[in-house]
Structure 1
């Protein structure tokens, strides 16, 4: 296994490829996390809303990797990001995970009913209390991100958002880089649809790789970008990690980036912010 990429982001050192666990449940979740760690992953992503933090924690312990070698992210649900509620949510997450602190604590979604100054203040307090080593946000627009950075008394390490070849995020990426943060891509292969694109398949064949491996390589080869593909299948978990022995040319990177289209977004709940164009 070649050395994977580490993203340096305002003091955090984040492995560029992580295991996503959304809709991963029960023993399958435990096994997926343990398998990922044995394969070589050192970055695990969960959230209070996923309802699987206990299983993620069990999987981490079963993975046989020292705690300080695993970067663990969790998130506070948008209804719980007010002062007091956010800290209680973080404490509950730690109890479920069986950890003293997470490496990264994120606000999962913005909430227009809770002033951003209050939620960012609570997030900073959680970090000062030692509940998280680093903090950040998820599903923020450029304007919300800029405001969060302005309000925060602690460095924000990461923004997590949907990103894959058919959803261009150049404005958000520019903002994240301007603030010295990491961009973590969820749904990084577009729920699989992007991997079947003719352009992706041609590039994949040229490298002897799958479409998913090609798209994941495209993700992590971008400056400051991490990707957290979700899988519960041991073979797919291993396949997704096998992306460190090849690289894409500038022309190949650009060809995949050109697949972005206006209707490429897949995750857009009713409470989502008004996204950047």
Structure 2
């Protein structure tokens, strides 16, 4: 994977999605209930909106998108099929429902949210392929997979795997997932990049923040970007939205990255 992440999202909504077209800093929308937060995010420059069926806010995201003057084709809209809808027939039905709630003709990126419950790779993944072939989605992704599950998915999918979304932050580092993404040419997308606010408690992060005269949140985002991982921090206020977007432009040096890599504490926020 390269750092060339500024490709246009698409010329038409039905174009195939490539990993390089995923904007490096997106908006995680879990818990957002006000469409104005979405509209504000687009106004300050976000072009990547991430939601999920289980968040029960796809309609909120769709309304905020519709209210924005930003052209639809400039925004990557991603959602995820929850674990109770991963049987082949349910994948299609639930995705069509998501498309309606989002108010879009085509969903740019559709993820398997977790490989549990009704997930059966032999039938679930071909259902995702079919949605892409039919133009319902532009790209296929997975979320919360292990390396073994990723290998299996890559071997079954006819569609190229575009992205793997996973928890990734200074307290939960999975270099094997990053290496797999690099080897197979898809984008790693980090949710909870601020470790649920715990990055503000880490002296290593604070030291790097003081060195660069910035915030711990900015350092956490910049650390992920230094590894060419896309990030989707959640925010709703204009000031936090702007700060997270600017953080993607902060350049850490090798010493900074190594200092954060060496943090010994580990904490997973969203175990299965």
TM-score normalised by length of structure 2: 0.91
The Cα of 1:111 is off from its aligned counterpart by: 2.2
Contact 2:17 2:138 (C-alpha < 8 Å) held by counterparts: no
Paired position in structure 1 for 2:189: 184
Q: What value does the CA root-mean-square deviation take over the aligned residues?
A: 1.8
The Cα of 1:196 is off from its aligned counterpart by: 2.9
Contact 1:138 1:160 (C-alpha < 8 Å) held by counterparts: yes
Query: Does residue 263 of structure 2 align to residue 264 of structure 1?
Result: no
SS at match of 1:134: strand
Paired position in structure 2 for 1:20: 28
Consecutive aligned runs of 4 or more in structure 1 exceeding 6 Å deviation: 7-10
Q: Deviations over 1:14-34 (max 9, x none)?
A: 001000011112x2xx11111
Q: Deviations over 1:121-160 (max 9, x none)?
A: 1111111111111011001111001000000011010000
Q: How does 1:18-57 map to 2 (within 5 A)?
A: 18-25=26-33, 27=34, 30-57=35-62
Any gaps of 5 or more consecutive residues in structure 2? Answer: 8-15
Contact 2:84 2:118 (C-alpha < 8 Å) held by counterparts: no
SS at match of 1:154: coil
- Residues in 2 aligned to 1:5 and 1:195: alpha-carbon distance in whole angstroms: 30
Cα 1:202/1:220, change in 2 over 3 Å = same
- Residues in 2 aligned to 1:221 and 1:5: alpha-carbon distance in whole angstroms: 13
The Cα of 1:256 is off from its aligned counterpart by: 1.2
The Cα of 1:106 is off from its aligned counterpart by: 0.3
- Residues in 2 aligned to 1:86 and 1:216: alpha-carbon distance in whole angstroms: 32
Paired position in structure 2 for 1:123: 128
Q: How does 1:223-262 map to 2 (within 5 A)?
A: 223=228, 225-259=229-263, 261=265
Contact 1:47 1:74 (C-alpha < 8 Å) held by counterparts: yes
Query: Does residue 161 of structure 2 align to residue 156 of structure 1?
Result: yes
Match of 1:11 among 18, 26, 39: 18
Q: How does 1:57-206 map to 2 (within 5 A)?
A: 57-111=62-116, 113-206=118-211
TM-score normalised by length of structure 1: 0.89
The Cα of 1:113 is off from its aligned counterpart by: 4.6
The Cα of 1:245 is off from its aligned counterpart by: 4.5
The Cα of 1:260 is off from its aligned counterpart by: 5.1
SS at match of 1:6: coil
SS at match of 1:185: strand
